[in-house]
Structure 1
């Protein structure tokens, strides 16, 4: 379990970890970002995880579809897959 910095809200620290995982490719495009798994992994309440995912959604890093879950956004497809790229 992660050791949290007591000077920052837990949800911000969780959002930072998810951002790093997206940037590193550990969470590729269309990867399911499971609130249940994150809740268990970090030992926090679901509301804490939801604050983190809301922040990432606002940044455009994840997309949430009601009834399906939250997924890493496709906003930065690989070079060969870009449509209209010049």
Structure 2
């Protein structure tokens, strides 16, 4: 289970970085707003995954999981998809 959380965390981080770089090189457009929303959701997924890995490893990742879930909840209700 730790390996799954670690792998998902790494993949979410890599996807977030690539999407962020692609947004830096594009001009602002309506489609970019959806990509920004997706970027926030992927960052929250990375927080939750890495927090889950740390929680299973030494029980100190619960704060990271809570922050990821709270930010994800705010993002789902306020951002446009």
The reply to whether TM is greater than 0.5 is no
What is the TM-score of this pair, normalised by structure 2? 0.32
Q: Which has the higher strand share?
A: 1
Question: Where is the helix percentage greater, Structure 1 or Structure 2?
Answer: 2
Query: With structure 1 as the length reference, what TM-score do the two structures score?
Result: 0.31
